[in-house]
A = this chain, B = another copy of it.
Amino acid sequence: MISKREARRETLRIALLEAAKARVAESGLARLRARDIAKDAGCALGALYNVYKSLDDLILHINSATLAQLNTKLNHAAANADTPQEKLVALARQYMTFAIDNNYLWSALFDHTMPENAPLPQWHLDEQAILFGHVVDPLAALKPDLDAAGLHTAARTLFAAVHGIVSISLREGSTTIPRETLDAQLTEFIITQVNGMKYACGEHQI
């Protein structure tokens, strides 16, 4: 049996991932150090490179875990809302909440860049694309004239807009905008956007 070796390897893999996640959550991606991770995981420096191809590879797995966590939260948010507009508001507010509660891990999703401009692996791009998917269903109800492709890009645009609002607000530090203000801005933004869609569909002619 080779299970004992694989078990050890898998244990170390998880220990390193958890140690790295904790480091990032505590002090951010910029202060992540290979030696710190190895020490926290209780292994030698070189062992890290037997399990992960590089630090960037490990960070990719951190981000993968963060995306899965965020994904679960967004699923709940959409499920607990009724109308399409309420779903979009709930998704945006949940996104904001996650970004605030997991500031460093969330930032790592966008701060991390591959060396030499190497493209991100496909499996990770797929994970990112899932996020946009949450917006598709509510949007389909609001823009019934769009085909699948148009719906996808529209969902991505709306998602990106919300991301930008949250991103710029959090980047400037907590000194600038209190959370309630950001929350209100985000909600009003979504409602305005939805109203604009209704306007375009001719409902304003009633």
Contacts and interface: CB of A to CB of B under 8 A. Distances in A.
Nearest to A192: B196
Interface stretch (A44-52, A57-65, A153-161): A153-161
A198 B161 CA distance: 20
Interface residues of A, number: 44
B173 A161 contact: no
Contact of A185 (B153, B169, B177): B153
A197 interface: yes
Given A191-B196, A195-B199, A160 B153 contact: no
A119 interface: yes
A153 B177 contact: yes
- Most chain B beta-carbon contacts within 10 A, residue among A169, A185, A191: A185
Contacts of A199: 192, 195-196, 198-199, 204
A164 interface: yes
